[in-house]
Amino acid sequence: MTNNFKILGISKELEKVLERDGITRPTPIQEQAIPQLLKGKDVIAQAHTGTGKTFAFMLPIMETIDITKPCIQALIIAPTRELAIQITNEAKKLTQAKNISILAVYGGQDVERQLRKLNKGVNIVIGTPGRLLDHMRRKSIDLGQVKMIVLDEADEMLNMGFLKDVEEIIYKTSKTRQTMLFSATMPKQLRSLAVRYMKEPVQIQIQSEKVTLDEIKQVVIETTDRGKQDALCSVIDEERPFMAIIFCRTKRRVKALNSDLRNRGYNSDEIHGDISQAKREKVINSFRDMKLQLLVATDVAARGLDIEGITHIFNYDIPEDAESYIHRIGRTGRAGETGKAFTFVTPRDQQDLIAIENKIRMNLKKRKIVKDNVKDKTNRNNTNEQINKKQDFRWNKDSGKKKTIRSIDKRKGKKK
């Protein structure tokens, strides 16, 4: 494995920026993709969240942009606002080395502000399909000189019904463009799109699932629909998660569960498609800054979240497929730290569970929690008050010094 970015063709200026951010060695996806992209090749990269794929395409883009031309030269399309924001934040780190102008366009922003920045000249645009099409129809964005286009998390854009929008956007770019497609999975429709819009693409596949799963203790909680919420609270009280994401299948279930958790005294909040962008960013920042212990979310709303320090994942609703399961639990157990994932399964979820176990080639540990086994609600609330007080003290004690907070007691799997 290459031990530095210079060998891959990355300039000294960008390498210094990476070093300041603690990044000194390329990940497998970066090692394979960067040299091909610097040669101008089209690339199809199959890699999951957390593999370093953002820098895999952003570094070659930064090296290729001609700053003497005040026009859009690179376009990055993301399925959600959260992912667009995450990519933008990563890209802005790299602009410390080069005077490159970046604009993020997504719903919930001030359109007039976007228009003013576009009029001044932008080199890279990062956006969601809907807002990009809106600008195209206003004729406020000209994609005619785009020479690099990235489709990030392309499978999620397919799942969300954005594929036709994406094709409309691609059609407006230069025919000589370089196209990069990054996706966790490669369904037939994406392969068909690649045939239509890509030129002899280099195919890269990063097998990250086994590594990710090896670092995560996975447990199935067998329960009932009626007892599921009490079972969740029982596990939360027992585990005392430092930072956890709780996944539900629908916006309605996210709202209901978060409301009930807050009523029980838990430090929780929610993200889903019905909240405003300002509220969404406030919640995510609170979670990132460790002011929030439990984040209740849908799969779509949590797409693109890349937050350090998540100790637990709770699949309150079992994922619809094995790929979603891997995506969800892959948010914990990172950077060599241990993580835990609990999946709550009712009798009607058994077929979904079997499909997941077959995909990951594991028989997950089972534990039964039915309503009769759950502690009295009053006792549980008292216990939770103690947990929250302890964690609030721990968060405030060091003023958010991450190194102290995030050290792990490997024997117990809890943060010190």
Confidence tier at 392 by pLDDT (50, 70, 90): very low
The C-alpha R_g of the chain, in whole angstroms, comes to 22
Q: Is a pLDDT exceeding 80 seen at residue 377? A: no
pLDDT of residue 234: 96
CA distance linking residue 327 with residue 312, whole number of Å? 14
- How would you classify the pairing of strands 408-409 and 414-415? antiparallel
Q: Convert the pLDDT of each residue in 266-293 to its tens digit.
A: 999 999 878 887 888 899 999 999 999 9
Average confidence (pLDDT) over 389-415: 38
- Supply the angle between the helices 129-138 and 111-120 in degrees, to the nearest 10: 70
Q: Which residue has the tokens 């007080």?
A: 389
Nearest to 42 by CA among 206, 172, 199, 184: 199
- Residue 230 has which token pair? 């009490």
The CA-based diameter of the chain, rounded to the nearest angstrom, is 70
Residue type at 13 in one-letter notation: E
Mean pLDDT of 246-266: 96
- For the chain, the average pLDDT equals 85
Instruction: Check whether 416 has a pLDDT greater than 50.
Output: no
d(CA 206, CA 26): 13
What's residue 33's pLDDT?
96
Contact 50, 212 (CB under 8 A): yes
Asked if 242 contacts 391 with a C-beta cutoff of 8 angstroms, the reply is yes
| pLDDT value of residue 2 | 61
pLDDT confidence band for 383 (50 / 70 / 90) = very low
Per-residue model confidence (pLDDT) at position 403: 38
Task: Give the model's pLDDT for residue 80.
Answer: 86
**According to CATH, where is 3.40.50.300 located in the chain?**
6-205, 209-415
If pLDDT is split at 50, 70 and 90, which confidence band does 330 have?
confident
What is the rounded distance in angstroms from the CA atom of residue 409 to the CA atom of residue 411? Answer: 6
| Structural class in CATH, domain 209-415 | alpha beta
What's the CATH fold of domain 6-205? Rossmann fold (3.40.50)
335-369 pLDDT, tens digit each = 667 899 999 999 999 999 999 998 888 889 999 98
**In the predicted model, what is the mean pLDDT of residues 15-20?**
91
Higher pLDDT, 382 or 156: 156
For position 113, what pLDDT does the model report?
86
Task: Give the pLDDT score at 311.
Answer: 94
Quick one: tokens of 188?
């037939």
pLDDT single digits (tens) 51-109 = 789 999 999 999 999 999 989 999 999 998 888 988 999 999 998 888 899 999 998 77
CA distance 257 to 369: 18
- In this predicted structure, the answer to whether residue 407 has a pLDDT above a threshold of 70 is no
pLDDT of residue 86: 87
Phi, psi of 282 (to 5 degrees): -65, -45
| pLDDT(378) > 50 | no
- Find the mean pLDDT for residues 30-47: 95
pLDDT of residue 213: 72
Answer with the residue of higher pLDDT: 395 or 27.
27
Band of the pLDDT at 371, cuts 50, 70, 90? Answer: low
Q: How far apart are CA 105 and CA 146, in angstroms?
A: 16
Structure tokens at 362: 């594991």
212, 48 in Cβ contact below 8 A?
yes
Mean pLDDT of 39-48: 92
Greatest mean pLDDT range, 42-51, 85-94, 258-267:
258-267
pLDDT digits (tens, 9 = 90+) for 129-163: 999 999 999 999 999 999 999 999 998 888 788 99
Average pLDDT of the segment spanning 303-332: 86
The model's pLDDT over 220-243, given as tens digits with 9 standing for 90+, comes to: 999 999 999 999 999 999 999 999
Distance CA 394, CA 398 (A): 7
By C-alpha distance, which of 259, 338, 245, 235 is closest to 287? Answer: 245
Q: What percent of the chain shows pLDDT beyond 90?
A: 58
Going by their DSSP bridges, the two strands 339-345 and 148-152 should be labelled as: unpaired
Q: Is residue 15 pLDDT above 50, yes or no?
A: yes
Which residue type does 81 have?
R
